[in-house]
Amino acid sequence: MKISYQTSGSCASRIEIEIDNGVIVETTFVDGCAGNTQAVAALVRGMEVSEAVKRLKGIACQGDTSCPDQLARALEQAQTGNIPS
């Protein structure tokens, strides 16, 4: 499954995610701090969606959210079948 998540409140404007059988295959952040978003994407590659949500949810940056938190929110929506667009 491939999803595109429009972020809110973070430097990244969108996150493209590919999930296969509950495992994150690929993540690409559009905009944002390149080094940080590439690192987050590399770290979650091959990780179970539920584990990534557990680790990233609630991380704050310049407000009450961040690029990692936005990724967690997108993954949660994918888990519930409420696919973000």
Q: Which domains does the chain have, with CATH numbers?
A: 2-79 (3.30.390)
* Interatomic CA distance for residues 46 and 61, integer angstroms: 25
Work out the end-to-end distance of the chain between its first and last CA atoms, rounded to an integer number of angstroms.
Answer: 13
Backbone angles phi, psi at 23, to 5 degrees: -120, 135
The secondary structure element, H or E, covering residue 38 is: helix 34-44
- Is 62's pLDDT higher than 90? no
The pTM assigned to this predicted structure is 0.93
In which band, very low, low, confident or very high, does the pLDDT at 7 lie, cut at 50, 70 and 90? very high
- Is 13's pLDDT higher than 90? yes
pLDDT value for 55: 97
List, in sequence order, every beta strand (DSSP E) within 1-85. 2-6, 12-20, 23-31
